[in-house]
């Protein structure tokens, strides 16, 4: 089986078009169609349902697509390794992180880029729960999460100590308060993140333990949208402190301590124990640990 045929298949699916895939691969459309037909003939399975309206990948196609992407990641890893052999200051760095962890990475990336301007840095937005498996599958070299993955194959280094913080609008009735009791929050409208996390479960459990209603009437897909709604006094929220630090400093949000609720949030840098880090990844690890 040729890797080129797998690349063609992955590109067709990614572009959702034979013609756009041909343009991206600098090939003719008949050449792309022929490469896919040969791959299907070799596997003895249909990868794309041509009778359906639009481009529909079959069950077998989805399995093959997963391996095609892994092969492509390995190829890129090999290209990066060869590049590093020629120039230790060059290469490619792939990091997986969720929305809040990406914000934490920004100052470290700035420092890293000043030291290693030739390295191509790519931060892939990933679900925090999936990052450990992406590391062990070889899709990522480094990952950033805010929980302990408890996987013996993975090294976990704490690089930042954060916490959840309760924030309100400057117009809110709690804005001038330094502390509140959890019992005072039963009538509040909470703007929640619609991605389930261990920290959300801790908050839910504490409200339940204190027998206080937790009214999560609004759920949003991003932290930015939550911040904007809280700023507009449409509700209150628990958010990672590092994600609202600048807003609190500029007084567009107010941080209020909840007496009965302190949720520590440890940000961790992950990598696979048995895999030697590339020069680019090791250099990034050094930069982060130097400023942890």
Q: Where exactly are the structural domains of the chain?
A: 3-79, 81-160+266-290, 161-265
Task: Show pLDDT as tens, one digit a residue, over the chain (292 residues).
Answer: 577 888 888 888 888 888 888 888 889 988 988 988 888 888 888 888 877 677 888 888 889 888 888 888 888 777 776 766 555 566 788 899 988 788 888 889 999 999 988 888 999 988 888 999 999 988 889 999 988 888 899 999 988 888 999 999 999 999 999 999 999 999 999 999 887 777 888 899 999 999 999 999 999 988 899 999 999 999 999 999 988 999 999 999 999 999 999 988 888 999 999 888 888 888 899 998 876 5
Strands 179-180 and 254-258: parallel
The Cα 138–Cα 145 span in angstroms is: 17
The Cα 110–Cα 49 span in angstroms is: 46
The answer to whether the Cα torsion of 15, 19, 25, 26 is positive or negative is negative
Given this model, what pLDDT does residue 52 score?
A: 63
Lookup: tokens for 276: 């030697």
**Is the CATH number of domain 161-265 3.20.10.10?**
no
Q: Which of 271, 255, 272, 259 lies closest to 210, judged by CA? A: 259
Question: Are 3-79 and 81-160+266-290 equal in CATH topology?
Answer: no
pTM over 0.75: no
User: Top-level CATH class of 81-160+266-290?
Assistant: alpha beta
* φ and ψ of 140, to 5 deg: -135, 155
* φ and ψ of 278, to 5 deg: -65, 165
Per-residue burial over 261-287, b = 16 or more CB atoms within 10 Å of its CB, e = otherwise: bebebebbbbbbeeeeebbbbebbbeb
Given this model, what pLDDT does residue 207 score?
A: 96
Q: What is the DSSP string of 204-273?
A: HHHHHHTT---EEEEEESSHHHHHHHHHTTS-BEEEEHHHHHHHHHTTSSEEEEETT---EEEEEEEEET
Q: Determine the CATH number of domain 3-79.
A: 1.10.10.10
Given this model, what pLDDT does residue 292 score?
A: 58
Given this model, what pLDDT does residue 87 score?
A: 59
């Amino acid at each position: 089986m040729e890797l080129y045929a797998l690349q063609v298949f992955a590109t067709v699916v990614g572009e959702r078009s034979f013609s756009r895939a041909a343009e991206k691969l600098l090939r003719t459309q008949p050449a792309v169609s022929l490469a896919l037909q040969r791959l299907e003939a070799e596997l003895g399975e249909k990868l794309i349902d041509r009778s359906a309206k639009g481009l529909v990948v079959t069950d077998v196609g989805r399995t093959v697509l997963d391996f095609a992407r892994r092969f492509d990641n390995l190829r890129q890893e090999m290209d990066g390794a060869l590049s590093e052999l020629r120039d230790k200051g060059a290469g490619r760095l792939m990091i997986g992180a969720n929305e809040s962890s990406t914000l934490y990475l920004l100052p470290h990336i700035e420092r890293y880029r000043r030291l290693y301007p030739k390295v191509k840095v790519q931060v892939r937005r990933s679900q925090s729960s999936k990052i450990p498996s992406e590391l062990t599958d070889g899709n990522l070299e480094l990952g950033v999460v805010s929980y302990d993955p408890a996987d013996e194959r993975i090294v976990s280094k704490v690089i930042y100590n954060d916490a959840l913080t309760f924030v309100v609008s400057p117009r809110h009735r709690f804005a001038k308060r330094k502390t509140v009791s959890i019992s005072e929050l039963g009538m509040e409208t909470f703007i929640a993140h619609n991605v389930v996390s261990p920290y959300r479960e801790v908050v839910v459990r504490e409200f339940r333990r204190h027998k206080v209603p937790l009214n999560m009437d609004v759920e949003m897909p991003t932290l930015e949208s939550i911040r904007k709604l809280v700023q507009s006094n449409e509700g209150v929220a628990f958010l990672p402190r590092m994600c609202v630090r600048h807003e609190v400093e500029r007084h567009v949000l107010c941080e209020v301590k909840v007496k009965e609720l302190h949720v520590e949030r440890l940000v961790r840098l992950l990598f696979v124990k048995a895999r030697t880090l590339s020069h680019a990844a090791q250099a990034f690890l050094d930069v982060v640990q130097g400023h942890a």
